[in-house]
Structure 1
Amino acid sequence: MAATSIKDLQAIEVLDSRGNPTVRVFATLENGVRVSASVPSGASTGEYEAVELRDGDPTRYGGKGVLKACANVMEVIAPALRGMDAREQLAIDRTMIELDGTENKARLGANAILGVSMAVAKAAAVSEGEELYRYLGGSEARRLPVPCMNILNGGEHADNSVDFQEFMAVPHGAPSFSEGLRYVAETFHTLKKILEAKGYSTAVGDEGGFAPNLGSNEEAIELIVEAIEKSGYKPGIDISIAIDSAATSFSTDKKGHYNLKWSGAGEMTSDDLIALAKEWVAKYPIILWEDPLAEEDWEGFAKFTKELGDKIEVVGDDIFVTNTKFIRRGIEEHTANASLIKLNQIGSVTETVDAVRLCIEHGWRAFLSHRSGETCDSFLADFAVAMGTGHLKSGSASRSERLAKYNRLLEIEAQLGPDALYYWK
């Protein structure tokens, strides 16, 4: 038996950044290496995401417990993987997928499968004496992502009057990751002063961005532009803006009708939202727009991309759910020009890599992302460098579970030294 063979897998229930249970997996190899991996959880989720197995017991955590998923790791997955070489990521992930036997991982739970998948990858990297990003990405893994920092929250991530879920500051004009992070962290703190001066709340949402009640969705953009300028940077040159509408959350039919009720904008169609986006892109330094339309509004998404895809990055999240089947359809129908990539949306490291590779092969961008329910596990940071996709969203300059990813990227940049790359496209 190889020294890198899996000896044991254990799982426990821990709490994520929203105080809800999630799965932490411990992988032990024959050589004594023991590591852990913790699985994130989303609030704004696509209908076709891999299933996050919850216990449904109302007497524990309001039904959100994950004891079943933990038991599946130890009682079903561990016996099947014991003795397999941790370096055989594809074989391990395929074994778990076949063991589950469902299209969406509903039997064992994507949270159980992903926890094992991540932990095994970490254990293999330690055994090989390599950094995780280098183990996963090879010797050429040296591109640091541009940090798309969520500095204003709305939608499902905040209890306020803003319909759109995220407004991000994107430091594409910085010379390095560390400088880019500084640019947007300074903008975040300047924004806080602006909000205080206007009498707005500076409480934060799930991902650490401020969540004030504003007069309109557009005011969020205006405040960020003001914060960029007052921080000493040039909008559109040093720092631009990215938006995640998470439009499924305010769609009345998930296809072509919407109700922006929180901001008072009212009922709108796909064409109305496209017209609004064209107006904003012409007026403000917007560089990326995620989920501008709902997860079943394929026709509207394609219209949006036709109108704006040559000017900005149009990202599909809920519509693609990191699933190669949906991404492939999107490529064929020109639905977008990028896909959001979330590990727990598909449920294994191998399938996530497949989704990234499919995007790159067809000239699309792959936008790596955390979830609103996070842990301090920094796997995502290493994964972003391994994939070399060039941009990442990991929350704001507050909340330790978000900063854990940024701080890990600072470590990686220091390790790479002059070999580190940083650029938007």
Structure 2
Amino acid sequence: MTESFRISKARARLIFDSRGDYTVEVELESNGRVARASAPAGKSRGRREVEYYPRNNAAEAVRIFNEIVSPKIVGLDPADQRGFDDTLHEIDGTERFERIGGNTAYAASAAASILASMLREVPIYVHVSEKSGMKPKIPMPLGNVLGGGAHAGEGAPDIQEILVFPTGVEDPLEAVRTNITIHKELGRLLTGLVEGFTRGKGDEGAYAPNMRDDDALAAVKKTVDNINAEGARVRMGVDMASSNLYDPSRGMYIYRRSGLTRTRRQQLEYVVEIVERFGLGYVEDPMAEDDMEGFAELVKQVGGKTLVCGDDLLTTNAKQVSEAAKMKAVNAMIIKPNQVGTLTDTFAAAREAERSNIVKVVSHRSGETCSVFLSHLAVGLGAELIKSGVVGGERIAKANELLRIWEGEKLPLARP
């Protein structure tokens, strides 16, 4: 470890995310270089995720970092990702970062990666690729165009996200443009379909109309069909966020907007039905987070043509991914680094997915910042998909960074 590769200063501060909520930004310095990283926040969270902040207080997390964490990481080599992240675990001393906060740990871990790439004078994704052992490639953008659930207000669909992703494009510029075109065309269609529609959007920039699930799915399908008729190749997907629908006290899935309740068997049948009716190529969290057997049954039924993706089921946890792989419960997984706290832990989950031929989907959260680190993480991990929204400053920033990475070096384009 050379002197130039020692962290000389470390500080945390409060900033705001896209919902106007507090989050943590960590800043690390070395040899005149300054790296910053900030943490996102999800409204729909899996129960196995790390604790975001001690006592759910971002300001307390900042105080703890500046008083306790900072003195212990000054002097560390930011290029030693595992050593840096192990130090964060040692300082915290709990399994779920209950003392310093998982969001703080993630921001610090990401800042170390960014600083190391600056000191080495290599792109961030190159550093991520080397540390993770993955081959870099450009992922396809998976974007939320119509949403409800926890990301929208009353009257919006129960299904949390209706998504689109291109499959027949030759470069990321065309891919991003395709998703944006669908978003724009869908807005025009909804204006004619929904009385009084003001083009209101949810947390991630997706339209949030007053519609039932099936009507919302039909509207997106009509838009996608129209785009495909013009020569594009686009598929639909959904994020059911089923843990938010599931009432464990009743053992039922509650669809409040639709006025329906579904048993476990009915939930399985409904997911298979909409996969068939709407030609879905992607289904995320179709069952509640503890129902790995239900996921496995869906993979048996639709996994040959549809990505059955685990988010709350897996929470970017290598052990959970390994267990799901043994049960053949998923063929795709969400990667959200702040679910697990550090990049080293994130890399372990991604490697487990790759060993089991599970498609990697690097994902934003509903409360985001304008950080572009997620794009480099997705490329460096060789992710097949990046789920980062379609429009909105904090979403488009990540799409634009993909274009810059592509311009710098013509990496292989993922074909999920």
What is the TM-score when the length of structure 1 is the normalising length? 0.93
Distance of 1:162 and 1:304 partners within structure 2:
22
Distance of 2:166 and 2:311 partners within structure 1:
22
Q: What corresponds to 2:411 in structure 1?
A: 420
Q: What corresponds to 2:160 in structure 1?
A: 165
Write out per-residue CA displacement over residues 182-235 of structure 1, whole angstroms, 9 at most, x where no aligned residue: 111111100011111223341000000000011x21222211121123345469
Q: What corresponds to 2:240 in structure 1?
A: 245
In structure 2, relative to structure 1, the CA distance for the partners of 1:140 and 1:305 (3 Å cut) is: closer
> Is 1:203 equivalent to 2:200 in the alignment?
yes
* Equivalent runs, 1:187-198 vs 2, <5 Å: 187-198=182-193
In structure 2, relative to structure 1, the CA distance for the partners of 1:150 and 1:108 (3 Å cut) is: same
* Equivalent runs, 1:386-401 vs 2, <5 Å: 386-397=380-391, 399-401=392-394
Write out per-residue CA displacement over residues 102-131 of structure 1, whole angstroms, 9 at most, x where no aligned residue: 111111111111111011110110011111
Distance of 1:230 and 1:282 partners within structure 2:
19
Q: Which amino acid aligns with 1:400?
A: G
Identity of aligned residues (%): 31
* Equivalent runs, 1:202-241 vs 2, <5 Å: 202-214=199-211, 216-231=212-227, 233=229, 238-241=233-236
Gaps of 5+ in 1: 57-64
Decide whether the 8 Å contact of 1:132 with 1:382 is kept in 2: yes
SS of the residue 2:43 aligns to: coil
Deviation, 1:254, is: 8.3
Decide whether the 8 Å contact of 2:309 with 2:332 is kept in 1: yes
Moved more, 385-394 or 267-276: 267-276
Q: Which amino acid aligns with 1:303?
A: E
Q: Count matched residues.
A: 410
Distance of 1:231 and 1:193 partners within structure 2:
13
Q: What corresponds to 1:50 in structure 2?
A: 50
Distance of 2:34 and 2:219 partners within structure 1:
47
Distance of 1:233 and 1:392 partners within structure 2:
25
Of residues 313, 317, 322 in structure 1, which corresponds to 2:311? Answer: 317
* Equivalent runs, 1:35-114 vs 2, <5 Å: 35-53=35-53, 65-114=57-106
> Is 1:126 equivalent to 2:118 in the alignment?
yes
Q: What corresponds to 2:398 in structure 1?
A: 405
In structure 2, relative to structure 1, the CA distance for the partners of 1:380 and 1:309 (3 Å cut) is: same
Q: Which amino acid aligns with 1:364?
A: I
Decide whether the 8 Å contact of 2:54 with 2:99 is kept in 1: no
Distance of 2:401 and 2:382 partners within structure 1:
15
Distance of 2:15 and 2:109 partners within structure 1:
18
Deviation, 1:277, is: 2.0
Q: Which amino acid aligns with 1:89?
A: Q
Distance of 2:405 and 2:414 partners within structure 1:
16
> Is 1:25 equivalent to 2:26 in the alignment?
yes
* Equivalent runs, 1:277-292 vs 2, <5 Å: 277-292=271-286
Gaps of 5+ in 2: none
SS of the residue 1:122 aligns to: helix
Q: What corresponds to 1:301 in structure 2?
A: 295
Of residues 322, 325, 328 in structure 2, which corresponds to 1:328? Answer: 322
Write out per-residue CA displacement over residues 37-70 of structure 1, whole angstroms, 9 at most, x where no aligned residue: 11101100001101001555xxxxxxxx411111
Q: Which amino acid aligns with 2:72?
A: A
Distance of 2:400 and 2:81 partners within structure 1:
26
Decide whether the 8 Å contact of 1:37 with 1:119 is kept in 2: yes
Q: Which amino acid aligns with 1:409?
A: L
Decide whether the 8 Å contact of 2:242 with 2:285 is kept in 1: yes
In structure 2, relative to structure 1, the CA distance for the partners of 1:296 and 1:255 (3 Å cut) is: farther
Decide whether the 8 Å contact of 1:4 with 1:127 is kept in 2: yes
Q: What corresponds to 1:380 in structure 2?
A: 374
Decide whether the 8 Å contact of 1:248 with 1:295 is kept in 2: yes
Decide whether the 8 Å contact of 2:147 with 2:156 is kept in 1: no
Deviation, 1:283, is: 2.2
Decide whether the 8 Å contact of 1:46 with 1:295 is kept in 2: yes
Moved more, 107-116 or 253-262: 253-262
Q: Which amino acid aligns with 2:248?
A: D
Q: Which amino acid aligns with 1:258?
A: Y
Deviation, 1:326, is: 1.4
Distance of 2:345 and 2:249 partners within structure 1:
26
Q: What corresponds to 2:11 in structure 1?
A: 10
Deviation, 1:142, is: 4.3
Which contiguous aligned blocks of 4+ residues in structure 1 show a shift greater than 6 angstroms?
Answer: none
Distance of 2:118 and 2:54 partners within structure 1:
31
Deviation, 1:255, is: 9.4
In structure 2, relative to structure 1, the CA distance for the partners of 1:142 and 1:341 (3 Å cut) is: closer
In structure 2, relative to structure 1, the CA distance for the partners of 1:253 and 1:74 (3 Å cut) is: same
Distance of 2:251 and 2:167 partners within structure 1:
33
